[in-house]
């Protein structure tokens, strides 16, 4: 049973997340041969204040 975790900054719409889950599932099915019913996709959203690049939080770059 393939498990896929997608980590991304928050702010995407439900429609965008729905499309992401669908396309990631299709890609896993195509590349691994797993059945669609066995593919699990997790979306973990991160707040800009909880994520930093080069020593600076993204929320501080705005």
Q: Would you call 40 helix, strand, or coil by DSSP?
A: strand
Maximum distance among all Cα pairs of the chain, rounded to whole angstroms = 43
- Residue 8 pLDDT: 96
- In contact, 21 and 41? CB cutoff 8 Å: yes
- Residue 39 pLDDT: 98
Is 56 an annotated catalytic residue? Answer: no
* CATH code at 3-60: 3.30.429.10
From the candidates 2, 24, 29, 51, give the one annotated as an active-site residue: 2
- Residue 14 pLDDT: 98
- Residue 62 pLDDT: 74
Regions of the chain short of the pLDDT cut 50: none
């Amino acid at each position: 049973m393939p498990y896929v975790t997608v980590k991304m900054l928050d702010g995407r719409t439900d429609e965008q997340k729905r499309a992401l889950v669908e396309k990631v599932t299709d890609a896993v099915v195509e590349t691994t041969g797993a059945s669609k019913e066995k593919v699990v996709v997790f979306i973990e959203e991160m707040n800009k204040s909880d994520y930093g690049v080069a020593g600076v939080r993204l929320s501080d770059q705005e």
